[in-house]
A and B are shown apart, each in its own frame.
Chain A
Amino acid sequence: MSKLSDNDLYERIRERDREALELLYDRYERLLYSFAYRMTKDQQIAEEIMQDVFMKIWQGKGSAVYQKDKGSLSSWLLTITRNASIDAIRRRKPEVEWDPRDSKEETTGVEEQVELKESNEELEQAIALLSEEQQKIVRLFYFQGLSQRKIAESCDIPLGTVKGRIRLALKKLKEHLSRERRVDYGE
């Protein structure tokens, strides 16, 4: 059973196969937990997000049903993990910037900026290569889940240009990342 594809496992989970749920958990625990932790910077909240995500998978209602034609199961798992992370962030500290890194540009000195740029994390290294405004847009949009209107206000740019700038920042980020190797999560 351990050699089953993701899609086979998911089908079995839909048939209430607990062993399949456990196998899927084993397969994605590290990736999803790392992501939830990166989003929230809180071990307990990240664990709650894991519970939330696997409850969604197990119950499989409404929007929490995976559709093969909309991408891989792993991408879908990451999407629902991000959504659950953003919901958790909003519930706890609405409208408050939660990631210390996000406010660094206003509050930290050169030394810490250098430290950030020397981060071992590939994603952080790639973000550091973006322009200052693009870095801010990525953090506000991707890691905090802010609306386009709030991003426009925060970055002091016209609302009509936000969509284009988010798109450009994400594409630039992808370019930088394509030169990096993925972290091996044993998927």
Chain B
Amino acid sequence: MANNKQDWLFDYINGLLTTEQEREFEAWLETDEETRQELEEMQAIMGELPRHIESQDPPAGMKNRVMDHVVGREPEEKITTAKPKRKWSAVAGALAAVLLASIGTNVYLGTQWQQAAEEREELAGDLGEMQTALSELEDSSQETGEVIASQEFAATENSQGSGRVTLLNTEQQGEMAVHVEGLENLDNSEVYQVWMVGDGNQMVPAGSFTTNEDGSGSLVFPSDAVNEDWNAVAITREPEPDNEAPEGEVVLEAPFS
């Protein structure tokens, strides 16, 4: 793009500037009345267009689903995880948080929609397993890990699998915990790569993992970047680890705000 900042206008509107460029542009806007007015004018026109589109009937039950998603996912409570006595125990704690959050959602939905009795039994079994797993960690003294957000992965059009990602802060650091199931088996040096997706589709690598023969895999990625404002967490299938930018298609994604 040209060096003149006024030429960044439409890339700014479409969220295509880097964070640094965006900051520069906004600082410059404060000093340039003409471009600021132009921005407002263009935004006003763009805001008018949707009011002339064809009205669509929202899908049945969408309101409940949206409200459940938004309010049901609120990190109202602090999840207790084990304080790491050994190096791996922080990882175990974060994974437990992922599983707990997952089960918490199931229980919530089960209550909400009165699922069949056998499903409740299955959930109770899951809960029992989790209680066992957590009790194994209770020999450590306790610390609190605050869940920032937790979201289920959804498979994309040409992929399969499911899972959950949880962003949390422990006393030591921020962490992203991922647990997935049902992914396709990988070939040779391939990995599943996790990405934090920012504005303008900026993809920041956040660790990779491989799966077992059942297609299950987990990852805990320590990073204080989890506290930043990400739009989504995505998983791609990559030919090799440590790619700086995705080469493969997105197989799972979890939208965040």
Contacts and interface: CB of A to CB of B under 8 A. Distances in A.
A52 B62 contact: no
A166 interface: yes
A91 B56 contact: no
Contacts of B63: 22, 25-26, 29
Which of B14, B49, B54, B74 counts the most A-chain CB atoms under 10 A from its CB?
B49
B238 to A, nearest CB: 15
Contact of A147 (B16, B234, B256, B257): B16
A55 B9 contact: no
Interface string B142-176: 00000000000010110000000000000000000
A7 interface: no
Contact of A55 (B6, B49, B59, B257): B257
Contacts of B46: 79, 82, 142, 170
B71 A30 contact: no
Contact of B50 (A35, A87, A92, A148): A35
Interface string A121-142: 1111010000000000000011
Contacts of B65: 47, 51
A86 interface: yes
Contacts of B66: 25, 47, 50-51, 54
Contacts of B58: 29-30, 33
Contacts of B157: 92
Contact of B14 (A51, A141, A171, A182): A141
Contacts, number: 175
Given A58-B71, A92-B156, A141 B255 contact: no
Interface residues of A, number: 73
Given A22-B67, A25-B66, A91 B253 contact: yes
Contacts of B7: 148, 160, 163
Interface string A52-86: 10111011011110000001001100110111101
Given A38-B54, A87-B232, A55 B47 contact: no
A185 B1 contact: no
Interface in B108-123: none
Contacts of A21: 67, 70-71
Contact of A79 (B43, B52, B154, B255): B43
A177 B49 CA distance: 8
Given A54-B66, A121-B53, A141-B14, A75 B47 contact: yes
A170 B9 CA distance: 14
Contact of A38 (B50, B199, B255): B50
B197 A71 contact: no
Given A34-B54, A91-B250, A174 B48 contact: yes
A4 interface: no
Contacts of A74: 47
B10 A123 contact: no
B250 to A, nearest CB: 6
Interface in B11-58: 11, 14-16, 38, 40, 42-58
A124 B54 CA distance: 9
Contacts of B69: 51, 54-55
A154 interface: no
Which of B2, B44, B55, B67 counts the most A-chain CB atoms under 10 A from its CB?
B55
A183 B14 contact: no
Given A61-B257, A79-B43, A142-B46, A166 B51 contact: no
Given A33-B58, A163-B10, 15 more contacts: A30-B58, A34-B54, A46-B56, A51-B65, A58-B71, A71-B44, A75-B44, A75-B47, A92-B157, A121-B54, A148-B1, A170-B46, A177-B52, A183-B51, A183-B53
6 contacts: A34-B53, A54-B69, A55-B73, A121-B54, A123-B52, A177-B48
